[in-house]
Copies of this chain bind each other. A is one copy, B any other.
Amino acid sequence: MGSTTESTHGPLQHRARRLGIDTHAERVVLMHKDCHVCRAEGFDSLARVEIASNGNRALATLVLATGDMLAKHEVGLTEAAWNDLRVREGDWVEVRHAPQLTSLGDVRGKIFGRPLDESSSLRVVADIVAGRYSPVDLAAFLTACAARPLNRDEMRALTAAMVDTGERLRWSAPVVADKHCIGGLPGNRTTPIVVAIVAALGILIPKTSSRAITSPAGTADVMETLTTVDLELDVMRRVVEREGGCLVWGGAVHLSPADDIMIRIERSLDLDGEGQMVASVLSKKIAAGSTHVVIDVPVGPTAKVRSSEGARSLADDLVAVASHFDLQVIPLFSDGRWPVGRGIGPALEARDVLAVLRNHREAPQDLRARAIDVAGAVVAAARGITPTAGRLLAEDALASGEAWSKFQAICEAQGGLREPAEASQRAPITAERAGTLRAIDNRRLSRLAKLAGAPDDLVAGLRLDVVVGDSVELGQPLCWVHADTVGELHYALEYAARNPDIFDLDPA
């Protein structure tokens, strides 16, 4: 039957034109409404199409233009589409109906209650990694995984799929240490300190970190203010072989690339489901070749994990799923009631990290203590010694300055250590009455830092002037908003004005 039409069909080609439009990972192509391909193929705006050129293919969303923006023989490509096709201006591009994606049937199945299995997870994740999902498709998948919480088999299947669709690191050392913190606690930036301590003690810790999902800063964002974090795989290897540790962005080494694509949508939906979280965390650790991972789970009413039961069940899931991949997970529960340190936002948190590593007297002691707890647990697991013994070794490595030297060495190996930049705009948030600071709302504090521009703007965020328990005067600054633009500063201050109870002041 096909043959009856092949002859009349044939490839319908257009000339590539770079629009210089940035739609991030979303691939969009523009065509003129009256062009022969649109008429022949019956394309409507927002149709999914396959574009092909010089043997490269990509799926994209079609948008129709009527004006004089495009000639009828041109197809306009946004940056993501342009880069996928690797075309030059004027190259021939073929545009066809997008093929059916079998994996979207798997997504519908999940929406209506059919659990993900190994093959369906792999189909979905492979299509996501290949950039075949529209933002709407991604939103449906992520929402389904949050609304129909994944069971452990699904978490295992999704984790395996995310590992199998990315790079995988292998290390000669028998023990490869790692750590992770289930976010939700502003300013809890222990990772750079932990890596410095653990590497200083001669334990291999090739750390890859993600950028923020729904928080004002991820470790990769923070480290970016101090050194280069987007290292290619071979460069990262050299750093680790030389220093025994590194602090790089996971996305650049393509460990679990599916995760990096999903993060943007999770962010815009402010969505971060538990099963998704387990698969996201473990797939990165497994792909990084880790054998022992300490996972810090801060628990508090406004932290990501709100109850000890929730923390327990999350930890059990992590341990159970990890065990299928020869990965030992050591959960560490910590106080997640208030923010940690003084800075919230990439550059501001980096300053706290440096102060602790340099053993400055005014360094935030809560951040220091937490870093030692986590590092101690890592050392204990890696060396097979008691937590107490591990903790002592960790504290000593930090106090002696060995950790600081190791941190500098790692940053030098990654491209040089620099001091974090300063924000150009600052304004205080002041106490509306005198009283004792009873609590701080982590979630709205994070929202405030994000409105100021964090994490996309590295210098933006907050610097806390008070800690819970302090008694404050009327008009006393509680924290300073740092922003790089007046617009964002204004936007954050407006939000603070509407939410005076982010800082819970107990009068009398």
Using CB atoms and an 8 Å cutoff, list the residues of chain A in contact with chain B.
1-2, 4-6, 8-9, 12, 18-24, 26, 30, 33, 39-42, 44-46, 63-69, 96-97, 100, 104, 108, 110-113, 134-140, 142-144, 146-148, 264-265, 268-271, 427, 429-430, 451, 453, 456-457, 460, 483-491, 493-497
B19 & A67 in contact (Cβ 8 Å cutoff): yes
B67 & A18 in contact (Cβ 8 Å cutoff): yes
| Alpha-carbon gap, A493 to B65, bound state (A) | 29
Provide the residues of chain B in CB contact with A142, threshold 8 Å.
Answer: 140
- Closest partner residue, chain B, to A97 (CB atom): B491
B21 & A69 in contact (Cβ 8 Å cutoff): yes
A493 & B112 in contact (Cβ 8 Å cutoff): no
**Option from B20, B111, B484, B491 in Cβ contact (under 8 Å) with A271:** B111
Copies of this polypeptide in the complex: 2
B112 & A146 in contact (Cβ 8 Å cutoff): yes
A46 & B23 in contact (Cβ 8 Å cutoff): yes
**Option from B18, B63, B265 in Cβ contact (under 8 Å) with A22:** B63
Provide the residues of chain B in CB contact with A5, threshold 8 Å.
Answer: 427, 486, 489-490, 493
B490 & A2 in contact (Cβ 8 Å cutoff): yes
In the assembled complex, the CB of A83 is this many whole angstroms from the nearest CB of chain B, namely 14
Assuming the A-B contacts A137-B269, A486-B40, are A45 and B63 also in contact, with contact meaning beta carbons closer than 8 angstroms in the complex?
A: no
Assuming the A-B contacts A45-B23, A147-B144, A427-B1, are A271 and B108 also in contact, with contact meaning beta carbons closer than 8 angstroms in the complex?
A: yes
B494 & A41 in contact (Cβ 8 Å cutoff): no
B97 & A19 in contact (Cβ 8 Å cutoff): no
**Option from B33, B268, B457 in Cβ contact (under 8 Å) with A46:** B268
B484 & A65 in contact (Cβ 8 Å cutoff): no
B21 & A111 in contact (Cβ 8 Å cutoff): no
A140 & B143 in contact (Cβ 8 Å cutoff): yes
Residue among A5, A22, A100, A430 with most chain B CB within 10 A: A5
Assuming the A-B contacts A136-B136, A493-B5, are A19 and B268 also in contact, with contact meaning beta carbons closer than 8 angstroms in the complex?
A: no
Assuming the A-B contacts A67-B19, A271-B111, A493-B5, are A457 and B139 also in contact, with contact meaning beta carbons closer than 8 angstroms in the complex?
A: no
A488 & B42 in contact (Cβ 8 Å cutoff): yes
* 20 A-B residue pairings within 8 Å (CB atoms): A1-B496, A2-B497, A4-B493, A6-B490, A19-B67, A20-B66, A20-B69, A22-B45, A23-B46, A26-B46, A39-B485, A42-B456, A42-B483, A44-B456, A46-B264, A136-B138, A136-B268, A139-B139, A139-B140, A140-B140
